[in-house]
Amino acid sequence: MSSTTNHAAAYSFGVRCSMTAAEDPSRVALTFVGGSHEDVWTWRRLDQHSSQLARFLLDNGVSAGSFVVIGLPNSPDHIALTIAAWKIGACVLPLSGRMPGPERKAVLEVAKPSAVIAEWDGPGFAVVRPSDLPSAARFSTDPLPDPGAWPAKAMGSGGSTGTPKIILDPNPWVRAPGDGGGLLGRAIGLKPNWVQLVSGPLYHTAPFSWCHWGLFDKHHVVLCDRFDARRWIDLVERYRVQFAFLVPTMMHRIASQEGVEVESLSSIELLFHSGGSCAPWLKRRWIDFVGPTHLIEGYGSTEGMGLTVVRGDEWLRHIPTVGRAYQTEIQILDDSLCKLPAGQIGEIFMRPHDYDAPTFRYIGAPAPKVAPDGLVSVGDLGWLDDEGYLYIADRRLDMIVSGGANIFPAEVEAVITAHPGVADAVVVGVRDDEWGRRVHAIVEPKNWLACPSPAELQAFCRERLTPYKVPKSFELVEHLPRDESGKIRRSMLAAERSALN
């Protein structure tokens, strides 16, 4: 994992698109897989369509520095609109098209976008519908002057409490060829000219960023309309995919497919995962699939305040670490912001070594917690060992205090999902008169007609967990309400079940 920086001339993502199209117009930039339909986009097509859409956006009141909200599902238009916005210096804010109305309204009121491209109805903002986009064909495909998108990217979030928040990257998105992934790309060894499979929703920061970072460095991006585990395996085989990003929920669903073998995934040069706790049994399974040197885990946040990475062979020697700092300073602090020694759990504070400009700015939310020496926390808990390896306990908001004991849901979920009859599980704390919070497990079985009983699951956990961590109640559901990226609102589930007590 090299830390060498590319010092060649830097370009904006819009300019880079036009450069690649001029150099190799018939080269494939994008293959979109929607159900049984596949749509192939060359660099010429992507560049020309994004230039037309750029003029279309200008015609609809977008200007340099303004927000463009893209509320579309994964599609070529999503990518072309993003590049179009960058070609005119606008900032892209991708949002889920299925975001609930009240949450969507709150985020849009904070963003005040110049244009919203979505199938939404609602007062207070002008909507450009996907059916309006073909009219962009009347505009010229000629290159546009490059104003530079600064800022270029923002990510919206309703947050675990429903409070709207926009995380803005205040820095210009410019890169040198071969360094499209920036710090994170260098940390994990991302290379140009790969085939990349993007199966997560583009309204989440990781799929969005990896997709566009890859395009910057001439990846052939295979973009799925949605994640499907069986199709993911087939696409890796068919397109000889070399790079992909997954979250642990996706990894679990792929690993649960019948017939998945090492040979099916033999083309993968690099599989990167983050976005949640990965159960040790599941991580070992993926090390068997792709090899220990091809599997890399990272820990960080949308805010970009620091980074740890760990390769599979390192992880096997430090289970279950999320790695050591990469060009980052890390401290574990207690509630009084005093530094804790190795092995003690506290709040994780981080700061990049190269901290000459802010890495993020919140819009619509208070500033995060900052330590006296400038390190920043986004609310996660963990500890460092004597060698500087970081271990995640859980998010402070997710931690369950039951009978005075601190219980981290990720640890309990890792045990439950190891049961052969379980497809997925979420652990929450439910209000309880005796315990304060009762550990409650919501379980999605692999086979609804032959699911394990609560008693069986409890016995399974008792063999693997200290008694106070064993869920006191189990609930079987046909499907857990995760979004396309695998995220779930624990606070919402806990509140719903507490109300039923």
Tens-digit pLDDT profile for residues 286-345: 999 999 999 999 999 888 889 999 999 999 999 999 999 999 999 999 999 999 999 999
Beta carbons of 268 and 241 less than 8 angstroms apart? yes
Q: Long-range CB contacts (< 8 A, 24+ apart) of 324-329?
A: 324/387, 324/388, 324/389, 324/390, 325/350, 325/388, 325/390, 326/1, 326/3, 326/183, 326/187, 327/3, 327/183, 327/187, 327/352, 327/353, 327/354, 328/352, 328/353, 329/353, 329/375
pLDDT averaged over every residue in the chain = 89
State the average pLDDT over residues 205-210: 94
The predicted structure's pLDDT at residue 160:
38
Judge if 11-226 and 323-395 fold alike in CATH terms: no
CATH number assigned to the domain with residue range 323-395, chosen from the 4 options 3.40.50.620, 3.30.470.20, 2.30.38.10, 3.20.20.140: 2.30.38.10
Alpha-carbon gap, residue 391 to 400, rounded angstroms: 18
Mean pLDDT over 233-244 rounds to: 97
Considering only CA atoms, which of 302, 300, 305, 253 is closest in space to residue 272? 300
H/E element holding 29? strand 28-34
454-471, pLDDT tens digit by residue?
A: 999 999 999 988 788 899
331 bridge partner residues: 349
* Local confidence band at 126 (pLDDT 50, 70, 90 cut-offs): confident
When pLDDT is averaged across residues 333-359 and rounded to a whole number, the result is 89
Phi/psi at 181 (nearest 5 deg)? Answer: -85, 0
DSSP one-letter code for 9: P
Q: Are 279 and 418 in contact (CB under 8 A)?
A: yes
The confidence score (pLDDT) of residue 156 equals 82
> What CATH architecture applies to the domain 400-500?
2-Layer Sandwich (3.30)
Domain boundaries, the chain: 11-226, 323-395, 400-500
The tokens for 265 are 């995934």
Distance (Å, rounded) from C-alpha 183 to C-alpha 170?
16
Q: Which CATH class is domain 11-226?
A: alpha beta
Residue of 303, 297, 277, 301 whose CA lies nearest to 414: 277
Give the predicted TM-score (pTM) of the model. Answer: 0.83
Identify residue 215 by its one-letter amino acid code.
L
